Each structure stands twice: as C-alpha cells, then as structure tokens.
C-alpha cells in the first residue's frame, strides 16, 4: 500500500506536469492535430566517409571474432569491419556474428553498422563513433541495471524460497502447498483462547470444544499423507502466524472434529482435497489474491502486514534469481526484468528509487544522438515526459534487438512504447510497456486524466489494452499474455 500511496503522490504532481505539457505544446494545435511526438532516431545512419577507427577482420562468425569486435566497440570509438565476401555474403556473415557478440558482452546488446564498399574478397563496414558510443553505454547500462536487479533479489528470504522453486516449479501448485502446510502447522502449534474469535466460525468445532470443555487443538489427523513442508510455510509460521486471526481457516481445511477419551481430534483435508476446492484455488492459486492468505483486514481497512505479500518467490523472479547473465534470458524475460527494475517507473525524484528515470515536464525527448541518450540512461540523468520515457525505452529495446513500437493517444494525452517478444516456449507476447509491464493503471498508477476520461478509456483491463495496442500493425485488440507466460 505504501507503493500505491507513493504512486498517488506522483500522480498529483504529474497532473500539474501534464497541464504544463499541454500548454507548452499549444492548446489550439493539439485540439486539431493531437500531441506532436518526435520521430525516433534511426537505428543506423548514413555516413559519407570512413572515420578514423580501429579495425577488425571478420572471417568467421565464431566466439573469438565476437570477442575482438566487442573489445573494439567497447572503446566507444569508430570501428571499421573488414568482412570476408561480397556485400550479400558479408552481411549474412555479420548477421551470424551478432548473437555471438551479444553473448560476448553478456548483456544481449547489438551494434549498428553501415556498408561502405567491396574490394576484392572483402567488404568494408563502419560503425560510427555515435553507434560505438551507443553500444558501449548500452552494455554499461544493461549491466548496471542487471546488477541492480540481482541486488534486489539477493536476500536471505529469496535464497530460502528458491528451495521451494527447485522442488516445485509449478507456481500455482507451490502456492497451494505453502497455504496447506501453513494451515496445518498453525493448527498443530497453536492453543486457542476464546478471545481469539476463531473457535466458533464452524458450528461443529464450537460444539466439539464445548463437549471437551477446552481448546486443545494439538491432535491433528490427516485424511491423507501430509505433503512435503515448504520453506515458505516455515517462514510464515516463525514470523507471521499472528496474522491468522481469521476464522475462515477452519472452513478451508478442517474436515471433521472428533472427541476421543476427552481429547479433541481435528481431521484435516488431504492436500488433494484442499487443492481441488474451487474456493481454495481462487484464493491461493493466483498471486493477485495471495496476500489474502496472510491477513484479511477489517471492513474499510487498507492495512496489510508489511512484507507478507513477498513471502512467495514467483517463477519469473526465480528465473531472474538463477540466471547469471542478462543475455541468457528470453526476450520476454528481458522485458520483465527491465520492468522489475523499476527504472522506468515514473519517479519524480531519486528519493524512492535511486537508479531510475525522472519525470520532467520541460523535456519532451532524448538527445538526437542515440549514444548521448544511452549515456543519459547509464549516468542516471534521463528525464522527460511520457513521450521521452517511450523514446528512451525504444532506444534500449532496439539495442536488445527487441521489436518495439511507439504509440500515443490524444484523448488521454499520453504516449508509451509497445514490445513484441517471445518467451522461452516460443509464444509471442504483445506488451504495452508503460511505467513497467502493462498499462500503468493496472499497476496501481492512475494517469492524470479526468474521471470521465478514465471511465471511458482506462477503467477496465479490457479498455486499457484495446487502447494501448490500437494502431500497432499485427497487434491483438486485447491482452494476450498472463504472468505465467514470463519464462
């Protein structure tokens, strides 16, 4: 909730920024033509002369040659490539070499080059100084972003929860096992007092307690074999059992109550019975309702126990946790990682997230030279309004060889980038990358628009994705991915 409050504060300030943006662009012009967004820099530029440069001979598309090309490019100065073959065959050779270079820099960054001429058995290409700078700062930026992500993930809690991921990589199943284990542990370990307010949520339980004249619930009988205990349930039991002051625990896991020789015995469902229950699956099989397992606030309350919703390592975070180099991620996971870093999360200062782009109503687009633009990202100096965010994002996506588009809508006075990526299983995802993964309203950020505009265009997931993907060639008219598709 703290994060959402921060977003609301930013939104209030953002409204003033957007008003300023509208006035700067000219209200009369925008009434008829919409916001004038800048044309993004081309990925390669025409140069008429060969610059003074380092030189690399390319005969094979192998690891050794890729390392040499990376070393020259990482100097940030113009490079000449002497590539074996005519224009057509040499370009094919460079195309084969590119993935090797992405591996060599460990961050999946590509480089841009221009054909000069062919002499004898070789064709000559040049990487301009700006493109070399673009390459160098792209590698540095992605590397820095990756280290930031790794630091964010490298906690003792995630190290422990990673054990659960290795045992069970099915995310929903892991959630259900954790919930089941926590409930049974809680029943075994807890002696209730009448003031707990949990004993009478189920009439049968209340009757059994009255029959034995006490609240000793330590005797647990399983309907089936107890599943393997999850690390997450152990952490919950140690640190968060106080959150389970909720009578619904009985209705969800207790099967029957019996008294034997004056001792009350509680028979719990088997894991199979628990996991097949529709209500249980809805509550604990989806990450969006995961924190309801820990605590159900009183009516009108918006308070949750801080940190409780992080006691589950999601599959995509586990993938980031275990992957050594950024270049080894699928395209979909690269996009998720950039969103997870919160670098483009629309901050108004570096007080909340130290390494991030800053919203500035006075800056509409990045520098014309993409090398300088990427330097801004790396040096933590990138600033601008929504269209600048989208432009910077597109430069980054281009450098990662990710298909991307620029989109905007006059009715909501907003601009964003859209990416088309594949996950590790080959599924194509169309993702509007707006202050993170997906349209920003779904991430707890509401754009600075009137209530009427918000209701008309942004009030539902269906409306948001229809608008955000509109006018993009080949894009669907609705969201075509789920959280599970990030793999």
- Both tokens of 436, joined, read 């993170």
Residue linked to tokens 């140690």: 238
- Label the pairing between strands 54-58 and 79-84: parallel
Hey, CA dihedral for 204, 207, 211, 213, is it positive or negative?
positive
Q: Give one DSSP letter per residue of 251-266, joined into a string.
A: HHHEEEEEEETTEEEE
pTM for this structure? Answer: 0.79
3-state secondary structure 368-395: CCHHHHHHHHHCCCCEECHHHHHHHHHH
Question: What tens-digit pLDDT sequence spans the chain (487 residues)?
Answer: 333 334 333 333 443 343 343 333 332 222 222 232 233 333 333 333 333 458 999 999 999 999 999 999 999 999 999 999 999 999 999 999 999 999 999 999 999 999 999 999 999 999 999 999 999 999 999 999 999 999 999 988 899 899 999 999 988 888 888 888 877 777 666 544 333 433 333 444 444 444 444 444 445 566 666 666 888 888 877 776 665 544 455 567 777 766 666 566 667 788 888 888 877 776 666 665 555 555 444 444 444 455 555 677 889 999 999 999 999 999 999 999 999 999 998 889 999 899 999 999 999 999 999 999 999 999 999 999 999 999 999 999 999 999 999 999 999 999 999 999 999 999 999 999 998 788 887 766 778 889 999 999 999 989 999 999 999 999 999 999 988 899 9
State the greatest distance between any 2 C-alpha atoms of the chain, in Å, as a whole number.
99
φ and ψ of 139, to 5 deg: -60, -45
pLDDT at residue 7 in the model: 37
* Exposed e or buried b per residue across 216-232, where buried means at least 16 C-beta atoms within 10 angstroms of its C-beta: ebeebeeeeeebebbbb
pLDDT at residue 288 in the model: 57
Residue linked to tokens 């390669």: 44
- Answer yes or no: are the C-beta atoms of 383 and 367 closer than 8 Å: no
- Label the pairing between strands 219-222 and 263-268: parallel
């Amino acid at each position: 909730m703290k994060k959402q409050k921060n977003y609301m504060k930013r939104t209030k300030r953002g409204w003033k920024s957007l008003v300023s943006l509208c006035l700067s662009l000219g209200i009369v012009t925008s009434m008829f033509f919409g916001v004038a967004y800048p044309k993004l820099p081309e990925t390669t530029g025409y140069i008429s002369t060969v610059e003074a440069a380092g030189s690399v001979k390319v005969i094979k598309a192998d690891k050794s040659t890729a390392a040499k090309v990376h070393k020259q490019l990482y100097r940030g100065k113009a490079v000449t490539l002497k590539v074996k073959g005519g224009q057509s065959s040499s370009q094919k050779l460079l195309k084969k070499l590119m993935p090797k270079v992405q591996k060599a820099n460990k961050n999946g960054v590509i480089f841009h080059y221009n054909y000069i001429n062919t002499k004898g058995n070789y064709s000559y290409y040049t990487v301009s100084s700006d493109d070399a700078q673009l390459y160098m700062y792209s590698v540095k930026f992605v590397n820095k972003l990756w280290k930031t992500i790794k630091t964010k993930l490298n906690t003792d809690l995630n190290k422990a929860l990673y054990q659960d991921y290795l045992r069970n990589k099915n995310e929903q199943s892991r959630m259900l096992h954790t919930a089941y284990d926590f409930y049974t542990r809680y029943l075994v370990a807890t002696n209730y007092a009448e003031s707990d307010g949990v004993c009478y949520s189920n009439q049968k339980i209340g009757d059994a307690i009255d029959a034995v004249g006490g609240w000793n619930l330590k005797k647990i009988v399983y309907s089936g074999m107890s599943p393997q205990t999850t690390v997450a349930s152990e952490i919950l039991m140690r640190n968060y059992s106080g959150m389970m002051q909720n009578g619904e625990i009985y209705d969800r896991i207790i099967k029957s109550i019996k008294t034997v020789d004056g001792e009350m015995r509680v028979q719990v469902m088997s894991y199979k019975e628990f996991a097949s229950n529709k209500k249980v699956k809805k509550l604990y099989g989806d990450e969006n309702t995961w924190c309801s397992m820990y605590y159900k606030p009183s009516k009108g309350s918006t308070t949750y126990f801080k940190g409780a919703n992080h006691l589950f390592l999601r599959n995509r975070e586990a993938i980031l946790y275990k992957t050594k180099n950024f270049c080894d991620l699928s395209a979909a996971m690269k996009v998720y990682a950039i969103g997870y870093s919160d670098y483009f999360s629309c901050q108004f200062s570096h007080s909340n997230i130290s390494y991030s782009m800053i919203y500035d109503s006075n800056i509409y687009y990045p520098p014309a030279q993409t090398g300088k633009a990427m330097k801004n990202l790396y040096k933590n100096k990138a600033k601008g309004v929504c269209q600048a965010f989208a432009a910077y994002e597109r430069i980054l996506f281009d450098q990662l060889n990710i298909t991307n588009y620029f989109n905007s809508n006059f009715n909501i006075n907003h601009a964003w980038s859209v990416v088309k990526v594949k996950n590790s299983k080959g599924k194509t995802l169309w993702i509007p990358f707006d202050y993170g993964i997906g349209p920003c309203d779904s991430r707890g950020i509401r754009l600075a628009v009137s209530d009427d505009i918000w209701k008309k265009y942004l009030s539902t997931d269906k409306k948001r994705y229809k608008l955000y993907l509109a006018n993009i060639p080949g894009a669907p008219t609705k969201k075509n991915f789920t959280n599970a598709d990030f793999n």
